[in-house]
Amino acid sequence: MRLDANRAPLYEALERHAVRRAAAFHVPGHKGRATWDKTDAVRRYAELLPIDLTELSDTDDLHHPEGVIADAETLAADCFGAEETRFLVGGSTAGNLAMILGVCRPGELMLVQRNVHKSVVHGLMLAGARVVFLPPAVDPASGLAVVPAAETVREALRRYPEAKALLLSNPNYYGMASDLRDSIREAHERRIPVLVDEAHGPHFGRHPAFPASALQMGADVVVQSAHKMLSAMTMGAMLHLQGQLVSKSAVRQYLRMVQSSSPSYPIMASLDLARRELHTKKERSFEQALRTAEETRAGLEGTPFKALAADTTRGSYAIDPLKLVLFDATGTLDGFSLRDELERLGCIAEMADDRYVVLAFGTGTRPDDGQSLLAALKHIARTHRLEDRPAAGRREEASFFALAKELPEPVILHGEADDTEAVELGQAEGRAAGEWVIPYPPGIPVLYPGEIVTPSIRKQLERWRKQGARIQGASDTTLRTLKVLKR
């Protein structure tokens, strides 16, 4: 029987189960009822708990799907154009771990773009990979790092033909998307598979306004956070597979290892519903978000705020229209301050850095969200008298990820280094870091143990220290000191 895209087999099975109101002598202990003391929480959860089920005769098993989960995943593969799709309940994090472990055994070599999310780095650590980090290309106008240039990939593939995979992360957190086709072709010519962390691009290829998806460009394994830019619940993500270069059974095996044996049914069912929305409404799924983003962009005209756009970058990147990357063109408010001001006025951004504030639009965005944002920005412009100030010249600070022009030697990543000492940040320059430093978000490690603290990294850390950026990994999260390896 051909599956029907208008159905949501997993969600419908949960709904059927819930209305039976059978006496439940299986986990979870709540038995589908909110029994907490009378609070708002009871009202909030009461509707959801009846579908918070477990592996039963009619609800299938994520780790051995043969029924409604198999059907839901088959429909998702059809929708996204994959040969096989697996639902993830641990976000793209779980997918990144499994796809790396599925291709790389201890001591084997991986070619990996340097500016990757920590989940990729954690996967490389768990795999015991020897990693050659490829320096990313940097957009000279915005200073933001994107995927490595095709020439960098070509050189890495030439130098390391034994690599088990090439791993790229596209788009970046700012929605800057690169064309991966040349790099994928070069890797495939050497029978090296390409894994893509497309956490921020599950909508790519689903509307003419969006860039092509990694699957459309020929990647072998693609991981997408359906919860970030589609309508799935938080932690809902998907891993897609195609081609013969990666063992699908190995990736499945690692998914069984890195994901819970009690995966959340509300999350999985929300993946089924997000897929159905896309499958049936198609481009219409995004019309409201796109229109709102467009109107908001237009509303910036005449204000001191600008948004990153194809004509403000100087490379061949597509900009995701659902990401509004704002900056104060007068140079008065840095990204962190602008984010904080917006938050006080009731607009909560996805991320900020020292220049930009990233605002994500999605299937749930409504036109009044855009109006609230514009009203808040106008209020901020007035209170800071930004309108009276001239536009500042663009600061073109190259990303600190533009570490080296040369390909570095392979490294093996460790959780922490043994013989370290804490030194004042200023003294750390030129020393090998003794700990991880991960600004969050975006969660891309700036330093791993053993990596040399270059002048540009030291300067960037000092800027973050002054701005009070949120830092993970470092033992002194204020960044006054940094652990380095003893000489």
Ligand X SMILES: Cc1ncc(COP(=O)(O)O)c(C=O)c1O
**Site residues for ligand X per CB under 6 A:** 91-93, 96, 117, 119, 169, 173, 197, 199-200, 225, 237, 442-443
CB of 46 to ligand X, least distance (A): 27
Cα–Cα distances in angstroms (integers) from residue 297 to residues 6, 291, 308, 371, in the given order = 34, 10, 10, 11
**Three-class secondary structure of residue 463 per DSSP:** helix
Please identify, using beta-carbon distances, which residue of 200 and 252 lies nearer to ligand X: 200
CB of 88 to ligand X, least distance (A): 8
Q: How far apart are CA 373 and CA 349, in angstroms?
A: 10
Please identify, using beta-carbon distances, which residue of 92 and 142 lies nearer to ligand X: 92
Q: How far apart are CA 363 and CA 202, in angstroms?
A: 12
Residue of 86, 78, 112 whose CA lies nearest to 223: 86
CB of 305 to ligand X, least distance (A): 24
CB of 35 to ligand X, least distance (A): 31
Q: Which residue's C-beta sits nearest to ligand X?
A: 91
Other beta carbons within 10 angstroms of residue 474's beta carbon come to 20
Please identify, using beta-carbon distances, which residue of 93 and 296 lies nearer to ligand X: 93
CB of 227 to ligand X, least distance (A): 6
Cα–Cα distances in angstroms (integers) from residue 194 to residues 24, 153, 222, 252, 369, in the given order = 45, 11, 9, 17, 38
Which tokens is 29 given?
């202990």
Can you tell me which residue has the tokens 């949960």? Answer: 14
CB of 381 to ligand X, least distance (A): 30
**Three-class secondary structure of residue 174 per DSSP:** coil
What are the φ/ψ torsions at residue 222 (nearest 5 degrees)?
Answer: -135, 130
Q: Spell out the residues 6+ positions from residue 462 whose beta carbon is closer than 8 angstroms to its own.
A: 425, 426, 479
Please identify, using beta-carbon distances, which residue of 87 and 173 lies nearer to ligand X: 173
Which tokens is 78 given?
């059809």
Please identify, using beta-carbon distances, which residue of 233 and 447 lies nearer to ligand X: 233
Please identify, using beta-carbon distances, which residue of 331 and 442 lies nearer to ligand X: 442
What are the φ/ψ torsions at residue 481 (nearest 5 degrees)?
Answer: -125, 165
- Degrees (nearest 5) of the Cα angle 271, 274, 275? 85
Q: How far apart are CA 214 and CA 196, in angstroms?
A: 7
Please identify, using beta-carbon distances, which residue of 119 and 285 lies nearer to ligand X: 119
Q: How far apart are CA 482 and CA 428, in angstroms?
A: 7
What element of type H or E holds 42? helix 40-46
**Three-class secondary structure of residue 144 per DSSP:** coil
Cα–Cα distances in angstroms (integers) from residue 407 to residues 188, 362, 397, 398, in the given order = 20, 37, 22, 18
Please identify, using beta-carbon distances, which residue of 196 and 290 lies nearer to ligand X: 196
CB of 66 to ligand X, least distance (A): 26
Which tokens is 186 given?
């070069």
Listing DSSP states for 19-38 in one string gives HHT----SS-TTTT---SSS
CB of 358 to ligand X, least distance (A): 11
Please identify, using beta-carbon distances, which residue of 56 and 258 lies nearer to ligand X: 258
Judge contact between 368 and 304, C-beta under 8 A. Answer: no
CB of 76 to ligand X, least distance (A): 16
Which tokens is 452 given?
């040399």
Task: Please tell me what DSSP assigns to residue 393.
Answer: P
CB of 7 to ligand X, least distance (A): 26
Phi-psi region of 353 (alpha: psi -120 to 50; beta: other; left: phi over 0): beta
Residue of 235, 239, 201 whose CA lies nearest to 221: 239
CB of 117 to ligand X, least distance (A): 3
Please identify, using beta-carbon distances, which residue of 32 and 443 lies nearer to ligand X: 443
Please identify, using beta-carbon distances, which residue of 119 and 178 lies nearer to ligand X: 119
Please identify, using beta-carbon distances, which residue of 73 and 197 lies nearer to ligand X: 197
CB of 272 to ligand X, least distance (A): 17
